[in-house]
Structure 1
Amino acid sequence: MPVDLRINLLGGCEVRTRNGEDLTPRSRKARAALVMMALSPEGAVSREKVAGTLWSNKSDEQARANLRQCLRELRGVLNNGVDGIAIDGRRIALNLEHVSVDVREIVAFGERAEDAPDDVPDLYKGRLLDCDLPDDTAFDEWLYAERMNWDNRIRIAFAAILQAQIANGQWPRAQRTAVALLRVDPAHEEAHCALMQSFVSGGDFGSAVRQYRTLKEVLQREYGTVPSSTAEEIYAKARTAQADHATAPLDAPAATAITAVPAIQGIDTAVRQQPTGLQGGRAIPITVLPFQEEDHGNGRPGASLGSGISEAIVIALSRFRSLVVVSSGTASGVHGDLATLPPQEIARLFKVHYYVRGRVRSSGERIRITVELVNCEGGQIVWADRFDGTMGNVFDFEDEVASQIVGRIDPCVVWSESEKVTRYRPQNLAAYEHVLLAIPSIYRSDPVKFHEAGTSLLKAIELDPNYSDAYAWRAFWCMHCIGQGWNREPRVTLTDAADNAHFAIALDPGNALALALAGHVESFLYRRLDNGGRLLARALAINPNSSFAWAMSAVLECYLGHPEQALDNMARYQRLCPFDPAGCYFRAIYVIAYTMMHEFERAIEIGTEVVRENPNFINSYKPLITSLWHLGAESEARSFAATLLALEPDFSIEKFRRVYPFRRPADVALYVTAYRAVGIPETAEGNS
């Protein structure tokens, strides 16, 4: 019997007819009810379960009434010329003879793997239900369990198909299936081995070596394990063959690699071969030299403390995806103190752009640590600082100092490299150089430079479709575009932000930057504050020294109605990165928190500084106007309101309520009362 409707839940949620007509329900609740049917056994679910899951905060009577309205919409969509849904007094069900669901298709093909068609991998277009769905605690819990269940079933299905293709020697098909499987499970060793063997069979030994290294890194990061003997054998074969054929050196990127490209605007969604021979890789190389020790008469110098600090810094820096840490023990034939070598020699020995050096001095119970970040190119000291402590708990002191050091190093290095790329503009920029070029322009809120930054990020993704940081920064760019009101197509930009954020995580589940941005996307754009909180918690668990993640978590605490906690998180941000080049952007968070706490004078003091430094950053005006009016400075509040409306002509009270996800009604009322008093219109039409 022919299929009349297709329900696609991977990478979004849509319903289409055989002719391609879009019948996706318009309301979020109707989409959620459809999803519950599509993912339930036999496509059927009880009315009671749907009502209790989608309206868990309503009375039973209200929930049933809401469900009836929701089912009217579904019946109108799914039974419009198609026998797509059956509804009775107890349950609602999809007619699976007329309706196909992408996740069910993948699982079904896995059960008959020998007969799976070539295009099965194309069905996997992204994360299950990566779309706008209701923000209800019961539904969130149901969805979390379903994602776990279906991710596992899809993983098993692709693995079965892959095994069948390998057994039949169908390597081109196996490549595509392996890539799809790695999008579901980046640590799936059989998929990595299949790609490695496929590359070896095709004579692409460099790509096989690169794939092995990716596997090794993922296994170590996710599970603390090493590749199996099978992977080691394929790797050894690739290394030997590469040497025999006198190909590129093993430490160079492979000439080609199979990559999976997400469904993001402007990028082909097919599996394709993409050159990845990029100069400079994806991160900025840095090394940490052993810290020197001086004992001023206490007989217990920091020999162990110096090495402990160095090791702690290396471990902490390794959690930043923007940096690649080169061990200072890799230099051979070097005698004496590495710190005395010229910067150019350090660069030559370790193939790095920057290095960290330091000194530990102790006298009695007192300890002083000085540290410098040096640019190898010209020997300039990019940043230096001093830390004082006591010999009390040495390990706690090591960790605290290392935390503060790396919190400063990451933004300093990134912005220093950004300036270098901007200044010299190499003819053929690598992907990571396009990212570096974009970062400063995102924060400066200059519309022209900002849109150039968006183009640079798209170019980075085009050059390296597996570069997690490029997608993460593109998501941030989309967020800022929406926040500034510069998006010509809001729905496209909204989807673009979510797609990029979640694909960045799929490519690198340990990328704290990507997790923090995804958390901000969930909370700010989709108003799913609990989901956002979980993602931000993961980001901080992976990298507790990410000042960016602490700042994003502070924003979330404001939305949740916890301004005191927001200030605590900002204190962590400030301690980690007291001289953040992007500090003006993040200082606006203080203005929001102090406004919510009714500490209007403090909010005005900081807010005035922020708008003076970055007059185009519209979100700094909104809490400032609110604080000014509540403090009685109505004239100044009206003046700033006029500036805000000139920058964001469609701003209105209705837009504020729709865009900003404050959970407490009192916080919304605080803003709205001030806005009405200073002349902010109720709707956008009031601006005309």
Structure 2
Amino acid sequence: MGLFGTIKPGLRKSQAAILHLDLLGSMAVQMLDGTALTPTGAKTRGLLAILALSDRRPVTRKTLAHLLWSRRSDEQARASLRQEIHRLSEALSPLGTDILDIQRHALTLKPVLTTVDAERYLNASPSGILKLPETDTTLLTDLEAVDPALDEWLTQQRNRLNHHLTTVLEQAQSSLPDPEQRIAAANRLLRLDRLNENAWKTLMRELIRTADTSAALLAAEQCLSTFRDSLANEPSTATKLLIDELRACQGAGRPTTLSDSPSGRMDSCETSFPSERAYLSVTNGTTHTANGWGISNQTIASVGFSPLQPELLTAVTPDLENILDQTAVGLANQGFLSVFPPFHTPSQHESSKIETRTSGDYLVQTKIQTSLTPAPVEGTLHQQVRLIVRVTDQRREGMIVWAERFPITPENSDTVAALLTSEISWRIALAEARNSANRQADELTPLEAGLRAFAFINRKEPTSFLPAEKLLHSALRRDPQHPFLLLTAALFGLVRSYEQWAPEKIDRERTAAIEAARGLIRIIPETLTGRLILARLLLDRPSEREAGLRLIEEAKPFAPSLGITIAIEAYALLMKDSPQEAAANLKTFRRSHPTHPFVDLFDMDVVLIFLLGGNAREAVERSRIAVSLSPTRISMLMLHLAGLAALGKADNVSVVNEQAEARSQLLRLMPDFSLETVRAHYARLPPPQLAAFLTLLERAGIPATPSALAHQTQPALGGTSSTGYESSSVVPSSSVP
């Protein structure tokens, strides 16, 4: 999946297609009866290739002319393009119908009438990728050296295809239900990228699951020789641990077999591999932990799961195991937590030796509650299952960091896992920040400084932004490629941009945030959080909004149906001038995730969407909470005023006193606040929504332009700007390679 390629899950080959385009290898174009229609000219084939790989979207004539005649003047290039369009139409004329949709400013291929082989791979999902023939053929080998700009475009398209295949195969090898399928996905992935460690580890684990120890040992030796030959280096510590354990078991003559447990987890030397799950060793009654997923000096803490108890091995177990497994994978993919995945309780013999289990700094404990409720069919009862989850800090005598309960059904396991992933990672980050609260700033490691900045950001108080900026700048200067620091920098830029009022400062904040998010994606390409934050940032830039929308589409196949993606999509709908649909999406998200950190950290988006989507009561409920907690947030006071104006009209409620207090507080903080200020701040909004917003603020008593008195008044918070702090990028240039 290319970073900016569009993924359309579920696209099927149309039975109505009358033209087939093969782009893998040399271009080949043919009709249903096999008649070849491949254009003879390289420029003509280039034109057709660009249209075929445009995700069925119109391509402007300006773009086409640049890609095919980059060394000519605009006028000459456009004239040449007109000739090539005519040649392409002539080449396809035997079809007897127009395949090209030729408009004054753009061209496109009619999707119903054409199929493209490369599209089948670009649209492939993890569940369907193995159904496609394996291919390592280079895209469009006959179009090289046609034009420098086309060469660059061709490289981008090849990278896009390769990246998508890599991502989908990585998803397939971890999500397909059958071990043979996971082995096939890993083998395909290794033929694309021999240095993909996840594929090597999956291959070895799944070969053990299928009791093919010899093949697993052979894969281990091939992995080592590949890294030594290619990089003159060894694979990562986690991979070597897996290989060493495999060798040790084989050398000791002990079986390496599948577990008898219902989960189908593998046993090696009577326990699982340390890279597969945490294992326990007992010395003088003390429990020790082994290695888990993602352990490195770049993680902020380690997380373990309490073993699944025998009494939980009931009909609900598949749902519970699925939820916990997805949560473990999600936490590991955050990039800043070491994870010891869940596993079944030790045998009775082992349990007698171990009183407590303390793997990880934090322990995720689960408990099942069941009850009988009346079923839809009269006279019958339905079993209702609830999952109780609590996270405890093992270094602080089991202090509870977070706890919640959820109903479990076969339909909501993905949603519960997504919420657990977000909540657990967020709460642990805040807890780790509190753990270092008593230390001086100059004593903090880069990671500790980033954690403290993260805590400041969550306050959303303008007065907290300056210390957060200093901490982040110091941390990134010392460790510019730490995933958690880049994630925090991206969040910081977005949150602080809400409180900026000069257009150049808003742009500076968002540019820094975009750089940080892209840096995070380069370090951890599979990070769903990083991609969605980047998408949210790009939606505020009209020139890059399409890229943000494509990122959201890319995330959908790999995200829970009711996860954070739907909240980001709600903002995208607002930017596309569909406020009612945006509010409906956000309501769906909030019903599924009422305590999701997104709702709190990005409360500006939440209130704005509800306000412009016609849900004034929900907007005011949220803004009241935010203003009461942080009364110096000018941006939230502004939204609260607009919400009160909308509520007064919609519900015929008198809000005069509350409105007067909010307006007085806002103008005390920023005396020169006016509709002119708002218009510049929200220039990104669609014009109808901006006009509606300004009308509400005008009704709330905000002046059209700054008053003369305001220019003589000092900002209430002090400092150099209306929000009391000076803005600068917190991301050193070295942090984004």
1:154 and 1:423, CA in 2 relative to 1: closer, same or farther beyond 3 A?
A: same
Amino acid of the structure 2 residue aligned with 1:216: E
- 8 Å contact kept, 2:227–2:234: no
1:436 Cα deviation after fit: 1.6
From 354, 364, 368, give the equivalent of 2:362. Answer: 354
Q: Please say if 1:285 is aligned against 2:272.
A: no
Unaligned segments of structure 2, at least 5 residues: 1-59, 82-102, 107-143, 169-192, 208-218, 242-294, 373-381, 650-654, 712-737
Matches for 1:79-158 after TM superposition, within 5 Å: 149-151=154-156
Matches for 1:422-441 after TM superposition, within 5 Å: 422-424=437-439, 429-441=444-456
Matches for 1:330-341 after TM superposition, within 5 Å: 336-337=350-351, 341=355
- 8 Å contact kept, 2:580–2:614: no
1:310 Cα deviation after fit: 3.3
- 8 Å contact kept, 1:548–1:573: yes
- 8 Å contact kept, 2:65–2:77: no
1:485 and 1:230, CA in 2 relative to 1: closer, same or farther beyond 3 A?
A: same
From 505, 516, 521, give the equivalent of 1:500. Answer: 516
- 8 Å contact kept, 2:414–2:560: no
Partner of 1:386: 405
From 53, 66, 72, give the equivalent of 1:44. Answer: 72
- 8 Å contact kept, 1:595–1:627: yes
1:35 and 1:218, CA in 2 relative to 1: closer, same or farther beyond 3 A?
A: farther
1:239 Cα deviation after fit: 12
Inter-partner Cα distance in structure 1 for 2:353 and 2:579: 45
User: Normalising by structure 1, what TM-score?
Assistant: 0.57
1:217 Cα deviation after fit: 4.1
Amino acid of the structure 2 residue aligned with 1:358: T
1:502 Cα deviation after fit: 2.3
Q: Please say if 1:534 is aligned against 2:553.
A: no
1:329 and 1:464, CA in 2 relative to 1: closer, same or farther beyond 3 A?
A: farther
From 609, 612, 628, give the equivalent of 1:593. Answer: 609
Inter-partner Cα distance in structure 2 for 1:338 and 1:435: 42
Matches for 1:475-554 after TM superposition, within 5 Å: 475-485=490-500, 489-526=505-542, 528-544=544-560, 549-554=565-570
SS at 1:287 equivalent: strand
From 436, 443, 456, give the equivalent of 2:458. Answer: 443
Comparing 224-233 with 662-671, greater Cα deviation is found at 224-233
SS at 2:436 equivalent: helix
From 461, 465, 475, give the equivalent of 1:460. Answer: 475
Matches for 1:151-550 after TM superposition, within 5 Å: 151=156, 215-217=196-198, 232-233=224-225, 235=227, 280-294=297-311, 301-302=315-316, 304=318, 306-328=320-342, 336-337=350-351, 341-342=355-356, 345-347=357-359, 352-360=360-368, 365-366=382-383, 367-378=385-396, 379-389=398-408, 395-396=410-411, 398-424=413-439, 429-485=444-500, 489-526=505-542, 528-544=544-560, 549-550=565-566
- 8 Å contact kept, 1:540–1:549: yes
Inter-partner Cα distance in structure 1 for 2:498 and 2:484: 21
Unaligned segments of structure 1, at least 5 residues: 1-31, 53-58, 65-109, 112-142, 157-180, 188-211, 252-277
Deviations 1:151-200 (A, max 9, x none): 368999xxxxxxxxxxxxxxxxxxxxxxxx99xx999xxxxxxxxxxxxx
Inter-partner Cα distance in structure 2 for 1:578 and 1:341: 36
Amino acid of the structure 2 residue aligned with 1:385: E
1:625 Cα deviation after fit: 1.6
Partner of 1:610: 626
Deviations 1:299-328 (A, max 9, x none): 955455554443343234334334332235
1:281 Cα deviation after fit: 1.9
1:511 Cα deviation after fit: 1.5
- 8 Å contact kept, 1:302–1:360: no
Deviations 1:562-620 (A, max 9, x none): 33443444345435653456754444444323322444344333322221112122222
Inter-partner Cα distance in structure 2 for 1:242 and 1:507: 19
Q: RMSD of aligned C-alpha atoms? A: 5.2
- 8 Å contact kept, 2:224–2:234: no
1:484 Cα deviation after fit: 0.6
Q: How many residues align?
A: 483
1:146 Cα deviation after fit: 9.2
Amino acid of the structure 2 residue aligned with 1:374: T
Share of identical aligned residues, percent?
19
1:440 Cα deviation after fit: 1.9
Deviations 1:432-465 (A, max 9, x none): 3332211121132333431221222233323333
Amino acid of the structure 2 residue aligned with 1:530: E
Inter-partner Cα distance in structure 1 for 2:520 and 2:457: 18
Amino acid of the structure 2 residue aligned with 1:436: L
Inter-partner Cα distance in structure 2 for 1:626 and 1:155: 44
Inter-partner Cα distance in structure 1 for 2:611 and 2:238: 59
SS at 1:422 equivalent: coil
- 8 Å contact kept, 1:294–1:361: no
Inter-partner Cα distance in structure 2 for 1:463 and 1:491: 26
1:370 and 1:468, CA in 2 relative to 1: closer, same or farther beyond 3 A?
A: closer
Inter-partner Cα distance in structure 1 for 2:631 and 2:605: 16
Deviations 1:635-659 (A, max 9, x none): 6435423433443455433342333
SS at 2:311 equivalent: strand
- 8 Å contact kept, 1:611–1:617: yes
SS at 1:441 equivalent: helix
- 8 Å contact kept, 1:282–1:322: yes
Inter-partner Cα distance in structure 2 for 1:593 and 1:441: 25
Inter-partner Cα distance in structure 1 for 2:484 and 2:319: 34
Question: Could you say which structure has the higher helix fraction?
Answer: 1
1:527 and 1:438, CA in 2 relative to 1: closer, same or farther beyond 3 A?
A: farther
SS at 1:285 equivalent: strand
1:234 Cα deviation after fit: 5.1
- 8 Å contact kept, 1:545–1:576: no
Q: Please say if 1:560 is aligned against 2:576.
A: yes
Comparing 234-243 with 433-442, greater Cα deviation is found at 234-243
SS at 2:406 equivalent: strand
1:333 Cα deviation after fit: 11
Partner of 1:88: none
Matches for 1:529-678 after TM superposition, within 5 Å: 529-544=545-560, 549-571=565-587, 573-574=589-590, 577-580=593-596, 583-630=599-646, 631=648, 633=655, 636-649=658-671, 651-661=673-683, 663-678=685-700
